[in-house]
Amino acid sequence: MVKMKLKAGDTAPDFCLPDKDDKQVCLKDYAGSWVVLYFYPKDQTPGCTKEACEFTERLGDFVRMDATVLGVSTDSTASHRKFAEKHKLSIELLSDPKHETIGAYGAWQPKEFMGREFMGTVRSTFIIDPKGRIAHIWPSVKPWGHASEVRTKLVELTGQKPKREPTESQTLPPPSLT
């Protein structure tokens, strides 16, 4: 089971990280607004691509709720540029190669793949409220349909009504990846 250091109600750790264009993006820049901060393992992989594309598809809904979506991985800014260009992503992608912010949020943890243990990014999402407090945490995320799940929670937290519901194809993984 994934264990997070932080819990709802805690002050969100501040950070400044470069975006895909090497511009510094800091959490404090979004004071007074909602932030959806999600951590993902790697650009260009099936699950991470699906998650980023879903957040991009629903970005208008998040913007209408005064929320910014920030995706963070250990990939380089150059990798983020290629990823964003290839998939026409309009969300902010931030680079944390030393996993300092990923670690501060408790998303840098031991993982296992094919019998091998290693440290890596656990796919997780945090909603940060306009006062800089953590409003909700998903400590372990399945990418298919997650953006809709986050949108629904943000609707609940902000009191705004959802703009539309996802179709079944937007919430189910392709058969080859289940």
Please name the helix (run of DSSP H) or strand (run of DSSP E) that holds residue 151, with its range, or none. helix 146-158
Residue 16 designated active-site = no
Q: What are phi and psi of 47, to 5 degrees?
A: -65, -45
- Angle, vertex CA 101, rays to CA 99 and CA 106, nearest 5: 90
CA distance 69 to 62: 8
Show the tokens assigned to 151. Answer: 């949108």
Of the residues 16, 26, 48, 53, only one is catalytic, namely 48
Q: Which residues are designated catalytic?
A: 48
